[in-house]
Structure 1
């Protein structure tokens, strides 16, 4: 069984500003980052799901989270089909940036220094995520 295609969510800059906190807007829509080691999700260890703070699409489950020691929440695998990538040169050399496949919100960068089984480290901004503990309902996708 395959997942249905993800329908893109398009909003204007003004609509996003009205929905997001200033920090979320800076990260998700402006491709910013938070200060290393400052977000509580670095220490989140409960079972649950991490969803895009912009559109509420589930991106990661807690089973794929690990302590990378980098100061940002890190995961070794996203949920299938939930992320899109592009190459960015913002700091002078190429890095693989990833975004929510539904709303295009910037999440972070992926590196090839993660643990097994993938060897990948999805280094995510905590501001770009919401956490839903296991047993609680996921929020309805934002429209």
Structure 2
């Protein structure tokens, strides 16, 4: 694999966070440790951005039960998850639509807003404030 140099600190930080979460997930899978798995979910920035700890706990329980046939190392955790899911009040899912919440503009709408779109596209060019290298 060719070496292309060091990552900028911001990019490296994002990558390091993902790597740490992945290592924690691998360790959880190898050991069949659902507590490590829950920690990995909590440390994942995408999960943590939309779920609080009780939601993450329920999410992990639901995932373990749904994927039971593929996760024999979690047999004890799955039994406990089944008990929790059947005996505790479940947190309802939120009405998230993800990227589908964004309206797709028609060609007519885009044509009507052409001037505004061109202005936005021009302003997004940060290079106009500094010379190119």
Q: RCO greater where, 1 or 2, for CA within 8 Å and sep 6 or more?
A: 1
Higher CA-based Rg: 2
Shorter-chain TM-score bucket reads under 0.3
Q: Which has the higher helix share?
A: 2
Q: Which has the higher strand share?
A: 1
